[in-house]
């Protein structure tokens, strides 16, 4: 159950394309209840122009990157060996002949930029690896991992939902029934993760489309730009995220938090409520709404959403486990044991994951 905040992060007030990515028709761009928020006129002073939206080459490769991938896997003949050799070459130090790419939580960048900077977060490294693997003829896809929720014990009402992506390489083997993680037994498909030591194969996960990958990329980058004070570029990136996919409520959560950051509270409220209509169980949005209504002086509405989040938190086995960890630090071992047993009873499938 133990997790850390090291991946794509969609958190409360602030935070988490190749040619195959389809450019969708803008959603509610000129009509509907969210028309002004989506048009950009509140941020830009006028509706945005389609050509102003970013168009990053998410799965792009330079000639140098192609040659690097080919050289790194020259001695490998099987697909699994190629995938492992490529991953090792990318993360090995320069002194050992590798590229020396290290993990950095900051800046969501393209695979090309990650290769040049030798730094990447989970999205950037996944884009880089998948593009290189596909160049080598491997069937590589972006794999979304749904991490268990966690809470900041310094402020127990702070709810964090972490979303993570890594690369999945499908191997040409019949009767596949297992997933192979590099460093474990040789079975079937391979999962490649920049933070492999923190990856857990039992987490819920699924391969996602290029459109959804792009939406996550642009949404994350938009929040980063907004946090740096660049509201204009932040809006354009967040708007591009919604062009790519309007379905995930967490994309709307970030968009609402962007407007809240600009002190445009009614607009943020409308966006949050729209996201909640998409996913009525999005507790990150509920947490955001509680904070927003507090800012707006709407005490009753704030308390309502605080209560919803608190009820979810108190019934969640991961929160029980987090509380148990906190009790251990306070030397209350008996209390910690009671909570751990309750957590395991709530989520028996996670029993083997408890350290």
Who contacts 333 (Cβ-Cβ below 8 Å, separation ≥6)? 327
Number of domains making up the chain: 2
| Diameter over CA atoms, the chain | 66
Same domain as 326, residue 216: no
Same-domain status, 136 and 234? yes
Residue 224 lies in a domain: yes
Same-domain pairing of 234 and 327:
no
* pLDDT tens track for 81-124: 999 999 999 999 999 999 999 999 889 999 999 999 999 999 99
pLDDT (0 to 100) of residue 16:
37
- Is residue 339 domain-shared with residue 207, that is, in the same domain? no
Contacts of 272 (CB under 8 A, 6+ apart): 252, 253, 256, 285, 288, 289, 292
Q: What is the pLDDT of residue 313?
A: 75
Residue 33 pLDDT: 81
Structure tokens at 156: 């127990």
Q: Which two tokens stand for residue 280?
A: 């009525």
Residue 170: strand, helix, or coil: strand
Of 245, 263, 289, at which residue does a domain stop?
Answer: 245
Residues 158 and 72 in one domain: yes
Say what the pLDDT of residue 37 is.
95
Same domain, 238 and 347: no
- Are residues 135 and 66 in contact, defined by beta-carbon separation less than 8 angstroms? yes
pLDDT in tens, the chain (355 residues): 333 333 333 333 333 333 333 344 344 545 678 999 999 999 999 999 999 999 999 999 999 999 999 999 999 999 999 999 999 999 999 999 999 999 998 899 999 999 999 999 999 999 999 999 999 999 999 999 877 665 554 444 444 455 789 999 998 865 555 555 554 434 468 999 987 766 777 778 899 999 999 999 999 999 999 999 999 999 999 999 999 999 999 999 999 999 999 999 999 999 999 999 999 999 899 999 999 999 999 999 999 999 998 887 766 666 666 677 777 888 878 777 776 777 677 665 444 343 3
Helices and strands of the chain, counted as H and E runs: 14, 9
- Residue 224 and residue 324 in one domain: no
**Is the same domain home to 120 and 236?**
yes
The CATH number of the domain holding residue 152 is 3.10.620
Q: 43 pairs with which residues across the strands?
A: none
Both structure tokens of 274:
């729209």
Asked if residue 269 is part of any domain, the answer here is no
Q: What is the pTM assigned to this prediction?
A: 0.81
Residue 58 near residue 123 (C-beta atoms within 8 A): no
Give the CA distances from residue 136 to residues 73, 132, 171, 196, in Å, rounded to whole numbers and listed in that order: 9, 6, 13, 22
Per-residue confidence (pLDDT) for residue 209, from 0 to 100: 95
Q: What is the CA radius of gyration of the chain?
A: 22
Measured over the CA atoms of residue 268, residue 273, residue 277 and residue 283, the dihedral's sign is positive
- Look up the domain containing 61 and give its range: 1-24+47-245
- Secondary structure of residue 91 in the 3-state scheme: helix
For residue 79, is it within any domain?
yes
What does the alpha-carbon distance between residue 5 and residue 163 come to, in Å, rounded to a whole number?
10
Instruction: For residue 250, tell me if it sits in a domain.
Output: no
Q: Tell me if 263 sits within 8 A of 231, measured CB to CB.
A: no
In a domain, 276, yes or no: no
Residue 283 belongs to a domain: no
Q: Which of 315, 311, 6 shows the shortest CA–CA distance to 147? A: 6
Instruction: Please give the sequence-ordered ranges of beta strands (E in DSSP) within 106-263, or none if there are none.
Output: 119-120, 139-146, 150-151, 159-170, 179-181, 189-192, 204-207
């Amino acid at each position: 159950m133990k997790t850390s905040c090291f991946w794509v992060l969609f958190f409360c007030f602030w935070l988490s394309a190749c040619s195959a990515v389809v450019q969708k028709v803008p959603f509610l761009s000129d009509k509907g209840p969210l028309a002004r928020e989506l048009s950009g006129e509140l941020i830009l002073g006028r509706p945005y122009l389609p050509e102003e939206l970013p168009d990053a080459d998410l799965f792009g490769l330079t000639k140098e990157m192609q040659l690097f991938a080919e050289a790194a896997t020259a001695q490998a003949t099987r697909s699994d060996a190629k995938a492992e050799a490529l991953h090792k070459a990318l993360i090995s130090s320069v002194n050992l002949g590798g590229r020396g790419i290290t993990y950095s939580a900051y800046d969501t960048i393209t695979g090309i930029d990650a290769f040049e900077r030798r730094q990447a977060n989970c999205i950037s490294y996944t884009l880089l690896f998948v593009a290189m693997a596909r160049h080598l003829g491997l069937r590589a896809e972006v794999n979304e991992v749904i991490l268990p929720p966690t809470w900041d014990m310094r402020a127990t009402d702070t709810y964090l939902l972490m979303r993570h992506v890594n690369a999945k390489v499908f191997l040409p083997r019949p009767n596949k029934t297992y997933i192979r993680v590099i460093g474990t037994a040789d079975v079937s498909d391979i999962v490649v993760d920049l933070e492999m030591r923190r990856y857990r194969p039992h987490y819920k996960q699924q391969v996602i489309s290029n459109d959804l990958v792009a939406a996550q990329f642009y949404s994350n980058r938009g929040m980063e730009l907004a946090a740096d004070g660049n509201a204009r570029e932040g809006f354009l990136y967040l708007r591009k995220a919604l062009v790519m996919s309007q379905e995930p409520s967490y994309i709307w959560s970030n968009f609402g938090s962007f407007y809240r950051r600009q002190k445009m509270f009614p607009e943020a409220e409308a966006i949050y409520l729209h996201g909640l209509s998409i996913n009525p169980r999005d507790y990150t949005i509920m947490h955001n709404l509680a904070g927003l209504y507090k800012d707006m002086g709407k005490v009753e509405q704030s308390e309502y959403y605080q209560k919803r989040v608190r009820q979810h938190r108190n019934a969640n086995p991961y929160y029980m486990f987090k509380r148990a960890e906190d009790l251990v630090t306070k030397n209350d071992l008996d209390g910690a044991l009671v909570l751990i047993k309750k957590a395991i009873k709530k989520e028996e499938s996670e029993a083997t994951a408890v350290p």
